[in-house]
Amino acid sequence: MRPRSLALAAAFAVLPLSAVSLGVTTAQAATTPNAAAPRVALPETVTPAVARSEKKGDVPADQQLSVAVSLKLRDTAGLDRFLASVATPGTPEYGHYLTPQQFTERFGPTQAAVDQVKAYLAAQGLTVSGVSDNRQVVDARGSAEQIAKAFGTHESAYLDPQQQRTFFANDAAASVPADLAAVVQGISGLNNHTVRTTRNVKPSAAAAPDAVAAAPSGFGPTQYDGAYNLDKSGADGTGVTVALWEFDGYSANNLKTYDSQYGLTGPAVTTVSVDGANYDSKPGEGQGEVELDSEIVRGVAPKATQLVYEAPNSDQGEIDMAAKIVADNRASVISISWGSCEPDTTASSMTAVDNSFKQAAAQGISIFSASGDDGSRDCTRSTSGSTVKAVDFPASSPHQTGVGGTNLKVSGSAYSSESAWSTAGGGVSTVFGKPAWQTGTGVSGTMRTVPDVSSNADPASGFAIYTVGGWQVYGGTSAAAPLWSGYAAQFNQKAKAASKPVLGEASPKLYAVANSTAYGSAFHDVTTGKNQDFTTKAGYDQVTGWGSPIADALTTALLGDTTPPPSGGCTAAQLIGNGGFETGTAAPWTASSGVVDNSTGEAAHAGSWKAWLNGYGSAHTDTLAQTVTVPAGCKATLSFWVHVDTAESGSTAYDKLTVQAGSTTLATLSNANAATGFVQKSFDLSAFAGQTVTIKFTGTEDSSLKTSFVIDDAAVAVS
């Protein structure tokens, strides 16, 4: 992963890596843990880099490793219903956010599940080093041999040929005993490939020297606050706390110099350590990123309290930071300027982080994440390479707001014009399905698109930042994310004064405004420019989202609570009953015998039960169906998670799963869609508003080589 900043005068460097011995004399023993006990593989727990790297040997058996065991949330269908309602004006739940304790009691892992995991880890000789306050993560450490035994893995040393560095990783998917599979979401820390690094760029020879400057150049608060009407909102962040999501440290003196230069005063910045990390005594190459984030938030919302959460630069560090921020519940806004391209990150780790983001949404915490600085090819400088269309995580999470980048022109301190920054991150997620609120984009398909909004990010129209002892000009979407975070701090101050709910999960509300008559007055619609694969257009696009803020008008629209959802004000609801099958019976579904199942042969997406169609290896047809009535005037979205597991090979479709709404075929999957884990699918059912329709899954299998279609956590959300 990398922070999404571009500095006009900063050197690129790779952060230190954990040492991996390639001259191994003591290898791990062959791993056959509890051979008599059935085990369940945990999907998406192998870093994709393994497939593109050269194995160099075993990790020494006694090398110490640290892992994060992520636990599953409960009642995910109920949680999705709550998140839709709490963000929708007019619903009984609107603005009635949960406390961390309430969230954990309703949707978090149980204490019994935590105790079960801890007992297992201890029995394998591992030391449990911590449990997150929201019970979603259990951290443990032990030798490579103990880790291999506990999770049925083998740890090897690899050479990444593109990045020319060594790393360690598990060769195959981690597994746990079948009784743990019902509560364990995934294991992170089995590899150290995903190391977050700074991505600052040097200017061209004509642009600027490499040395820092004695005086500021680039936009200061007067310019960017004036351009986006942030100075007209009537708020300065008083009483609001913003959390900065960081993997490096800062110098308090640098922040004070910035404040002094621009006459800003506010609460002192405070560091919050995660897993013992605190870089402030000796910041690394990411120092400029941390100071950029803090200074931009200060420039927009000077009176806001800033908490700099600093975590180890690892998958485990990221997961633990997410869990700690939401469990602490000290901030109502989180600003994220670090990310990685989706294809280079394990879905298991992304899901663990996204689970904490769901908790943030339930608690009324807004999250803004940089969309990336490599355009629609986010893996350009990483293992997957520049030929892969990819978006950035966490910006691709459906439970935060992804912020893209523009080139801003001003006249004095007034807005003049804006165009897309040519390397602003954007595109289509391959991991997360399109959320129900992502409407009006004009983009077809069932997957989430990025970004949602944007603001200035081009280094050519960069920001004056004081860092590493001098003034530099920074750009990147990691400048855009804290600008929007500062805006959210302004909004929350105004909302409190008006006795209105805080912004909370911002995207559903921003999309509601964008799909209303207020759009033209609340956003600057950016319609010129492109990245590698996408071009700007009127309204939404995959370079700049809906555009940049006109802060005062946007605040008025959001505070009014009168902007109807795109459907015209339909009450949000979820129509599918028993969508997670956790009742242990089919009803109100109708299903073939044996389809609703809690056996260990195939894992559920969440909980213990799922619908398992086919998998017999002989000619067979299974069905699963439920009838719902979509209210008139409503938008409706069918979503579900599916895992296709097959013994077939090649791309020929022998065994098929057909998804229908009435007589309309929504999709056909086959053995050719087999993957190691669940993927979410979603389909627009708005055409059935005012009608009763049957949602039906039909699985057909030919006479040889089995294919299983596993369906879980189905929902029909209306809004």
What is the pLDDT, as a whole number, of residue 703? 93
Q: Please report the beta strands in 161-286, taking only residues with DSSP state E, as ranges in sequence order.
A: 165-170, 175-177, 184-188, 241-246, 270-273
Q: Give the CA angle between residues 201, 206, 211 to the nearest 5°.
A: 55
Say if CB 546 and CB 371 are below 8 A apart.
no
Are the C-beta atoms of residues 379 and 329 closer than 8 Å to each other? no
Q: Give bridge partners of residue 2 from the DSSP assignment.
A: 339
Element (H, E) at 71: strand 64-71
Which pLDDT tens digit goes with each residue over 159-195?
Answer: 998 888 899 999 999 999 999 999 999 999 999 987 6
Mean pLDDT of the 59-78 span: 96
For residue 9, the Cα-to-chain-centroid distance in whole angstroms is: 30
Q: Compute the distance between CA of residue 434 and CA of residue 140 in angstroms, rounded to an integer.
A: 34
**Structure tokens that stand for 675 in this block:** 């993957």
Nearest Cα neighbor of 74 from 604, 718, 587 is 604
Spans of all domains in the chain? 2-10+218-560, 39-73+108-188, 573-718
**What local confidence, expressed as pLDDT, does residue 583 receive?**
84
CA-to-CA distance for 409 and 560, rounded, in angstroms?
Answer: 30
Q: Quick check: 314 pLDDT over 70?
A: yes
Task: Report residue 159 as tokens.
Answer: 């050479």
The pLDDT assigned to 367 comes to 98
What is the DSSP pairing of strand 305-310 with strand 241-246?
parallel
User: How would residue 542 be classed by pLDDT, with cut points 50, 70 and 90?
Assistant: very high
* Crossing angle for the helix pair 100-107 and 76-86, to the nearest 10 degrees: 140
Which string of b and e fits 486-503 if b means at least 16 CB within 10 Å? bbbbbbbbbbbeeebbbb
Query: Residue 490 has which token pair?
Result: 């302004």
Q: Is the pLDDT of residue 197 over 70?
A: no
Per-residue pLDDT at 566: 44
Give residue 58's pLDDT band: very low, low, confident or very high (50, 70, 90).
Answer: very high
Average pLDDT, integer, range 551-563: 84
State the helix-helix crossing angle for 506-514 and 551-560, rounded to 10 degrees.
Answer: 100
For the domain bounded by 2-10+218-560, which CATH number is listed? 3.40.50.200
Q: Tell me: pLDDT of 297 over 50.
A: yes
pLDDT, tens digit, 9 for 90 and up, residues 559-599: 985 444 444 457 778 899 889 998 888 889 999 999 999 99
If you average pLDDT over every residue of the chain, what do you get? 90
What pLDDT sits at residue 293? 96
Percent of the chain predicted with pLDDT > 90: 79
Least confident of 58-67, 565-574, 694-703, 704-713: 565-574
Per-residue pLDDT for 630 more than 50? yes
Checking if the pLDDT of 461 tops 80, the result is yes
Mean pLDDT in residue range 226-235 = 97
**Strand 39-41 and strand 338-341: pairing?**
unpaired
Return the DSSP state at 382: S
Q: What is the CATH number of domain 39-73+108-188?
A: 3.30.70
| pLDDT at residue 605 tops 50 | yes
CA distance readout (Å), 650 to 430, 478, 657: 21, 42, 17
β pairing state of 392-393 and 338-341: antiparallel
Q: Tell whether the model's pLDDT for residue 231 goes beyond 90.
A: yes
Report the amino acid identity of residue 59: V
Which residues, at least 6 apart from 51, have a Cβ–Cβ distance to it below 8 Å?
Answer: none
Q: Quick one: fold of 573-718?
A: Jelly Rolls (2.60.120)
Give the model's confidence band at 606: pLDDT under 50 very low, under 70 low, under 90 confident, else very high. Answer: confident
Residue 110, token pair as written in the block? 């149980």
Residue 3 confidence (pLDDT): 58
Of all residues in the chain, the percent with pLDDT exceeding 70 is: 91
- Low-confidence winner among 8-17, 249-258, 512-521 (lowest mean pLDDT): 8-17
pLDDT at residue 59, rounded to an integer: 96
Indicate the range of 277-286, 344-353, 572-581 predicted with least confidence: 572-581
Instruction: Look up residue 389 and give its two tokens.
Output: 């269309």
* β-strands 270-273, 305-310 pairing: parallel
- Hunting for tokens 């609570």 — which residue is that? 561
